[in-house]
Amino acid sequence: MRPRGLWWVGVGVVALALPQVLPLYFTHLVLLTMIYGLSAMSLDVLAGYTGLTSFGHATYFGTAAYTVGILTTQHHLPPALAAAAGVGAAVLLAAAYGLLATRAVGVYFLIITLALGMGTWGLAYRWSSVTGGDNGLPGIPPLDLGLPWSMAEPRNLYYLVLAVFCVAAFLLYRLVHSPFGLTLRGIRESEGRMRMLGYNTWLHRYVAFVVAGGFAGVAGVLYAFYNRFVSPPDLHLAASAEAVLMVILGGAGTLFGPLAGAGIVVFLRNLVSAYTQRWMLILGVVFVLTVLYAPQGVAGGARALWARWRGHAPAPRPQAEPRKEPVAEP
């Protein structure tokens, strides 16, 4: 695996040097890419690996961000504590919603996560006394962890986010290559078969749901301290849909593909918004084009090419269709 290791070292060097070498603009974009990338990667565990496409992923991202916002601006808790509480809130919410969402699979699961997500949005939007309503929560303090460098400075925050991202990405990488990760893929391919082999598939799906929500929460906490402002759009259906697009654009079931997908969306959004107000229109078009012409995404397409080049008889890849029956076996 020598070339592989070299590749990661190269990426690491670029990542570390970036803020010193490129304009601040790029630092911001890469920072955002890591934050949304982490969210997309955690969604990939659920959608790409387990075959459960959620249209409510931003709910956990947003809830963590809001928790940080509320605790720091209204209760003046130290940032580190608020950060921990943020992740905790995301995990608890995922644990609660997960009990409902995992009652089903397939498109039914999709609808339920969508509904739960927008219900939570409604809370953020209308519960003004707590969430600031439509105005959101401005004035989140920087993530002061007692380090000698100020986290109000984007270049410094970049390194902190990079560190957190690397740890989180490493954990996710180990997860998908572990026995548990294999069971998730087995469930995606044939849940009935898995049950006949002795797996309590509901439990596996539930754990995947909570884990995905938890890592989205980590991303949400980072977002709150980067953006210093959180508002209802952060957990709207559009945000959840963007996460799904990042996964598909990058390649579902590849883990790092969605990171690339996040990068594409972040850079594209920045580029487009400089020239026109019609970002949502472009987003919709990209969505449609991706489904029509590149359903495997960037990494998925690359993988197929790689397998063919290595000489495996090219197996006809079935379309990425998780499940037909909407409700899971009780």
237 binds other proteins (CB under 8 A): yes
Query: Is the CB of 15 or the CB of 307 nearer to other proteins?
Result: 307
* Dist. CA 87–CA 68, nearest whole Å: 9
265 binds other proteins (CB under 8 A): no
Do residues 12 and 169 make contact, with C-beta atoms less than 8 angstroms apart?
A: no
Residue 23's region, left for phi above 0, alpha for psi from -120 to 50, else beta, is beta
150 binds other proteins (CB under 8 A): no
Among 302, 295, 299, which Cα is nearest to 321's?
295
Report in angstroms how near the CB of residue 132 gets to other proteins at its nearest. 12
Q: Which amino acid is at 271?
A: L
Q: What is the DSSP letter of 133?
A: G
Span 207-226, contacts to other proteins by CB under 8 A: 211
285 binds other proteins (CB under 8 A): yes
Q: Which residues lie across from 229 on neighbouring strands?
A: 138
Do residues 229 and 136 make contact, with C-beta atoms less than 8 angstroms apart?
A: yes
Span 28-67, contacts to other proteins by CB under 8 A: 53, 55
Which range, of 5-13, 76-84, 99-107, 215-223, touches other proteins by CB under 8 A? 99-107
Span 286-305, contacts to other proteins by CB under 8 A: 286-288, 291-292, 295
Span 118-137, contacts to other proteins by CB under 8 A: 118-123, 125-129
* Dist. CA 207–CA 191, nearest whole Å: 15
Q: What is the DSSP letter of 326?
A: S
Report in angstroms how near the CB of residue 94 gets to other proteins at its nearest. 15
Q: Which two tokens stand for residue 264?
A: 């594409």
Report in angstroms how near the CB of residue 144 gets to other proteins at its nearest. 31
Span 181-210, contacts to other proteins by CB under 8 A: 181-183, 185-186, 189-190, 192-201
Query: Is the CB of 145 or the CB of 203 nearer to other proteins?
Result: 203
Report in angstroms how near the CB of residue 62 gets to other proteins at its nearest. 14
Work out which of 28, 205, 236, 269 binds other proteins, going by CB under 8 A. 236
Report in angstroms how near the CB of residue 104 gets to other proteins at its nearest. 6
* Dist. CA 213–CA 234, nearest whole Å: 15
Which range, of 28-36, 149-157, 223-231, 235-243, touches other proteins by CB under 8 A? 235-243
Q: What is the DSSP letter of 295?
A: T
Query: Is the CB of 18 or the CB of 307 nearer to other proteins?
Result: 307
Could you tell me where the DSSP H helices lie in the chain? 2-21, 24-44, 58-73, 79-101, 106-126, 128-131, 154-176, 179-196, 201-227, 237-250, 257-275, 279-293, 297-309
Which range, of 23-31, 65-73, 101-109, 298-306, touches other proteins by CB under 8 A? 101-109
Work out which of 77, 114, 268, 304 binds other proteins, going by CB under 8 A. 114
